Amino acid sequence: MKMHTTKQSLGAALAGERRQGRTIGFVPTMGALHEGHVSLMRRARGENAVVVASIFVNPLQFAPTDDLARYPRSLEADAALAAEAGVDHLFAPEVAEMYPHGSIATRVDVGPIGDIGEGAWRPGFFAGVATVCCKLFHIVAPDRAYFGQKDAQQLAVIRQLVADLDLPLEIVGCPTVREPDGLALSSRNTYLDPEARRAAPALAAALMAARDAAASGEESAEELRWTVKTCLEAEPGIRLQYVDLFDADSFSARERLDGRGILAAAAYVGGTRLIDNVDVVPAALPAEVRGR
């Protein structure tokens, strides 16, 4: 694996790969890698001749009240994981390489999808995600880019970005990777103390209970939210921030489950904010559609 810290170095290396007609798969990350990231890299390895991953803690995704400095960073360990997963080129730029003037004047406005769900609680977050991904897509020029479904709204935002701006790449969504007890893998899990780690799987369990209710015929978003809230009442270590139902394709908010949906939630477990989501499918859908 070759490590690159500048756009020039990476660009020169990838120009040589393209001259040989090799397809490029790309996995953008903020580091603190875990098996969820590794699953994306392995998927990219299986579908492309060249795999590029990036590690960049993007300051545009952090509000002034967020602790950017506290975000976990472990470049040496991350590089070892990436190499083991089959990454050919690792791009790990400093902030000054991506934003030479300290920030950036031009931002990508993602529209209404950026103001609901996570966006309602983290104003400007998805503009930061879309802006850095747009830059990275131009720098890497991949044929495919890989994102986890654990961040379902982010995946929807990136798909919209690529479609709206006619960017020449395919976005590949990959399944959420979970611990044996159901907790979705996240870099933020490292913040959980032992008591919070014990409580954390209850969020996934509550979402899965609502998913089961939908499969049994429940179509009301209010009732699905109630199911999640009721399940979490038994776990005082979790403070639910929101739980909402969204359309699986457009990620628009829904009050009834009239097609495939995503039930997404955020909660504080101890002092750590975690997000998770599950696919929900109405019982009325034909079996062949339900199984997709």
Q: Is the Cβ–Cβ distance between 110 and 126 less than 8 Å?
A: yes
Give bridge partners of residue 29 from the DSSP assignment: 55
Dist CA 51 CA 41 (whole Å):
7
Structure tokens, 196 = 């919070």
Active site residue 37: yes
Dist CA 4 CA 78 (whole Å):
14
Residue 47 buriedness (CB in 10 A; 0-12 / 13-18 / 19+): middle
Residue 83 buriedness (CB in 10 A; 0-12 / 13-18 / 19+): middle
> Alpha carbon of 261 to those of 57, 148, 282: distances in Å?
30, 17, 8
Length of the chain: 292
Structure tokens, 263 = 């039930």
| Residue in 4, 34, 37, 101 annotated catalytic | 37
Looking up tokens 């509000």 gives 63
Q: Which residues does the annotation mark as catalytic?
A: 37
